């Protein structure tokens, strides 16, 4: 039986892509500390089927459906499984301690400002009436809650000049003339947040492909000056 050079080349290309997919999935499993059996259960396919797909010596290929399931489970783009991209739009959740450490760093470095804010939220509250408790222990209620809120002010933090001496006012005026009125780092952060939220809204409405959304955000991050 004669095998054409084109067929041999196509086979090598497929084998190369398949090996990349297998290695990427194995790396993701190792990173997330799970085995094939766990992954198969989580994406709802048979362990034997997944084992065949990830067998380096076998002739089975990972199907598109399986790739999508694995992509959704690990929260990575399909392009990353194919070895074309390493962009992640959503990482695994940080611990509360890690989140608080990041917030402390932002506060201590003066990157963010803190204000007291109130938010009206939809809540369910315990019924106070004993008769109502028997049939329905909770009632729907709009409730206003107070929280500490963070924001990135575009303006430089400066004291109120009303109670300053002439020399102090002169120093502030000199600083403003030299450095300007604005905080360029925070302006850049605010501009990025606006850009991100607009694109995220389009992506959530399925008006923007996931790959385009991820690449646009990564490009914008790479272009940031500060």
Task: Using alpha carbons, list the distances in angstroms from residue 96 to 39, 102, 111, 116, 123.
Answer: 26, 10, 20, 21, 23
75 in any annotated domain: yes
73 in any annotated domain: yes
Task: Give tens-digit pLDDT for 53-109.
Answer: 888 776 777 888 888 999 999 988 888 888 776 545 445 677 889 888 999 999 998
Q: Note the pLDDT of residue 164.
A: 87
Answer yes or no: pTM beyond 0.85: no
Task: Give tens-digit pLDDT for 20-35.
Answer: 888 889 999 998 889 9
32 in any annotated domain: yes
Q: Note the pLDDT of residue 3.
A: 38
- Examine the pLDDT at 8 and tell me if it is beyond 50: no
Q: Quote the domain boundaries for residue 52.
A: 5-81
198 in any annotated domain: no
Domain count along the chain: 1
And the tokens for 115?
Answer: 């204000």
Task: Give tens-digit pLDDT for 155-201.
Answer: 988 778 888 888 988 888 888 888 889 999 999 999 999 999 999 99
126 in any annotated domain: no
Handedness of CA 66, 67, 72, 75 (dihedral sign): positive
109 in any annotated domain: no
β-strands 138-151, 113-126 pairing:
antiparallel
Q: What's the pLDDT band for 144 if we cut at 50, 70, 90?
A: very high
Helical packing angle, 5-31 and 64-74, nearest 10°: 30
Q: Note the pLDDT of residue 7.
A: 43
CATH number assigned to the domain comprising residue 72: 1.10.260.40
174 in any annotated domain: no
Q: How far apart are CA 108 and CA 113, in angstroms?
A: 10
47 in any annotated domain: yes
């Amino acid at each position: 039986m004669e095998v054409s050079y084109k067929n041999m080349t196509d086979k090598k290309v497929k084998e190369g892509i398949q090996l990349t997919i297998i290695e990427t999935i194995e790396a993701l499993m190792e990173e997330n500390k799970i085995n094939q059996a766990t992954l198969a259960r989580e994406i709802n396919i048979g362990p034997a089927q997944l084992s065949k797909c990830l067998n380096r010596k076998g002739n089975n290929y990972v199907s598109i459906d399986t790739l999508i399931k694995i992509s959704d489970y690990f929260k990575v783009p399909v392009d990353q499984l194919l070895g074309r991209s390493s962009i992640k739009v959503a990482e695994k959740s940080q611990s509360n301690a890690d989140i608080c450490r990041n917030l402390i760093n932002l506060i201590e470095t003066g990157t963010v400002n803190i204000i007291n804010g109130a938010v009206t939220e939809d809540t369910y509250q315990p019924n106070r009436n004993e008769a109502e408790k028997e049939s329905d222990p909770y009632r729907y209620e709009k409730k206003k809650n107070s929280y500490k809120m963070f924001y990135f002010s575009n303006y430089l933090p400066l004291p109120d000049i009303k109670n300053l001496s002439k020399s102090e006012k002169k120093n502030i005026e000199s600083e403003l003339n030299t450095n300007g009125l604005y905080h360029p780092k925070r302006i850049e952060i605010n501009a990025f947040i606006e850009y991100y939220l607009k694109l995220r809204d389009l992506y959530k409405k399925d008006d923007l492909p996931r790959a385009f959304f991820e690449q646009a955000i990564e490009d914008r991050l790479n272009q940031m000056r500060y």
